Amino acid sequence: MGISDKANSFKIGIAGLGTVGVGVVKILQENAELVAKRAGRTIEIVSVTAANKDKDRGVDLSSYEWVENLNDMATDERLDCVVELIGGSEGPVLEMVETAIGSGKDVVTANKALMAHHGYRLAGLAEEKDSAIAYEAGVAGGIPVIKTLREGLAANKVESVSGILNGTCNYILSDMRVSGRNFDEVLKEAQEKGYAEADPTFDVDGIDTAHKLTLLAALGFGAKPDFDALETQGIRYITAEDINFADELGYRIKLLGTAKVQGEKIMQAVEPCLVPTNSTLGRTSDVYNAVLVQAQPVWKNVSVGLGAGEGPTASSVVADIIDLARDHKHPIFGVPANDLESVKWGGSDDFVAPYYMRFEVEKSAEAQEGIKEKLEQAGVGVEKTLMKDGFVVAMSKAVSGGDVRAAVKDIAEEAVILRIEE
């Protein structure tokens, strides 16, 4: 049988024809021959479904069967694989994925929310049915970070996974730095230009990053994915002043998702952090994503790329389809679901690191000295302070997040506290 033999083709149904779904169709049409060579057989789109049949999507769908009902696609015995590109973690999409797996099909998805909330159970279900769930496109779009952690770094003991995992937040923070404008103004413009969603909550409140970090932590540490164990803080409270002060101190502010081993625990948090201006994370601006893995014996591994959009996300979806067409199946979180461990998670208060603190004060040398003294009396070592525009900024020595927050609470009613990730 040749690679263009239809009887031997890998038959897929695509649910969801938004930006990513259309991108997948385009790749499978335009690069059909190349993809077939890499997959060892033709990838055949048998059926598609989306909310609106009559919409012109700028791509020829006439040779595919239009399915009205997600369940019909999930139970279609002709299909080897359902490609879920609708999104959302509950309701009909979850049901469709469960049904597709239950009927022995593979699933490819870009749906990090679904995997973060239900991935553990779905992984068990898929293993029972000898099916696969591939979700490379769900984390950092075009960066093949799942493959990197699960396969490329399979020999390693992971110490930390940290990354800029949300392009919208990185774009907003980068624009705030360059333009000096505040969060609300930049977000509004990003929405008008279509860079940010009309409802930006998932992005700017860190939830999207938390979904992605949940999956990376599970893969990196062989842990049961546990979204609820993750503390999440977004970027709404970051001001142009914080970005300026950070700049002056040699740092950039980034929304980071970080999971790292510290003693008995795996610490994890999604929160805005300071990173050195000249580090990889510091240099990753605009809509770019970056993922930094520290592991033994490889030491450090860094990947940078586009985390969203048609091309990058569809690229990862098609890579997963090619893998499954070749019957390359891997345990969904790197090890069989039964072997995933219930680990002891730590949160924001447990991270031992230097911290940035900004206090609003009356302008005086005493205010600056006073804050330094009070912090030190409370056991928070101070590396340096600066005073500008009615603010005192202090940088601490390494201390736990809990200790720094307790000390600051006794000094000021309101202060901004950010971890420094060196």
From 26-34, 163-171, 369-377, 384-392, give the range in contact with ligand HSE by CB under 6 A.
163-171
Q: How far is the CB of 30 from ligand HSE (least distance, A)?
A: 23
Q: How far is the CB of 306 from ligand HSE (least distance, A)?
A: 9
Distance CA 326, CA 166 (A): 31
Q: How far is the CB of 309 from ligand HSE (least distance, A)?
A: 8
Burial label for 152, CB within 10 Å (0-12, 13-18, 19+), is middle
Instruction: Select from 261, 174, 173 the least CA-distant residue to 222.
Output: 261
Question: Among 106, 203, 242, 320, which residue sits at the site for ligand HSE (rule: CB under 6 A)?
Answer: 203
Q: How far is the CB of 124 from ligand HSE (least distance, A)?
A: 25
Closest to ligand HSE by CB, 138 or 401: 138
Contacts of residue 77, defined as CB under 8 A and 6 or more positions apart, other chains included, come to 103
**234 binds ligand HSE per the rule CB under 6 A:** no
Q: Within 13 A of 227's CA, how many CA atoms are on the CB side?
A: 17
Closest to ligand HSE by CB, 115 or 308: 308
Closest to ligand HSE by CB, 87 or 402: 87
Closest to ligand HSE by CB, 18 or 222: 18
344 is catalytic: no
Closest to ligand HSE by CB, 93 or 308: 308
**208 binds ligand HSE per the rule CB under 6 A:** yes
Closest to ligand HSE by CB, 169 or 367: 169
**307 binds ligand HSE per the rule CB under 6 A:** yes
Among 11, 26, 105, 212, the active-site one is 212
Radius of gyration, CA atoms only, the chain: 23
**308 binds ligand HSE per the rule CB under 6 A:** yes
- Give the three-class secondary structure for 382: strand
**257 binds ligand HSE per the rule CB under 6 A:** no
Q: How far is the CB of 41 from ligand HSE (least distance, A)?
A: 30
**421 binds ligand HSE per the rule CB under 6 A:** no
From 12-20, 161-169, 330-338, 375-383, give the range in contact with ligand HSE by CB under 6 A.
161-169
Quick note: the x/- pattern for ligand HSE over 378-407, rule CB under 6 A, is ------------------------------
Closest to ligand HSE by CB, 257 or 282: 257
Q: How far is the CB of 418 from ligand HSE (least distance, A)?
A: 21
Quick note: the x/- pattern for ligand HSE over 135-154, rule CB under 6 A, is --------------------
Distance CA 35, CA 29 (A): 10
The 10 Å Cβ neighbour count of residue 118 is 19
By the 8 A CB rule, do 331 and 123 touch?
Answer: yes
Q: Which residue has the tokens 């940010």?
A: 196
By the 8 A CB rule, do 395 and 248 touch?
Answer: no
Q: How far is the CB of 27 from ligand HSE (least distance, A)?
A: 18
Instruction: Count the site residues for ligand HSE by CB under 6 A.
Output: 7
CA 104 to chain centroid: 28
The 10 Å Cβ neighbour count of residue 363 is 12
Cα end-to-end span (Å), the chain: 55
Q: How far is the CB of 308 from ligand HSE (least distance, A)?
A: 4
What sign results for the dihedral spanned by CA atoms 401, 384, 393, 271? Answer: negative
From 66-74, 160-168, 358-366, 370-378, give the range in contact with ligand HSE by CB under 6 A.
160-168
Q: Which residue has the tokens 């409802």?
A: 199
**Which residues inside 164-193 make contact with ligand HSE, applying CB under 6 A?**
166-168
Distance CA 165, CA 271 (A): 11
What sign results for the dihedral spanned by CA atoms 102, 106, 109, 112? Answer: positive
Q: What is the DSSP string of 78-133?
A: T-SEEEE-S--SSHHHHHHHHHHHHTT-EEEE--HHHHHHHHHHHHHHHHHHT--E
Closest to ligand HSE by CB, 87 or 370: 87
What amino acid positions are annotated as catalytic residues? 212
Q: By the criterion CB under 6 A, which residues form the site for ligand HSE?
A: 166-168, 203, 208, 307-308
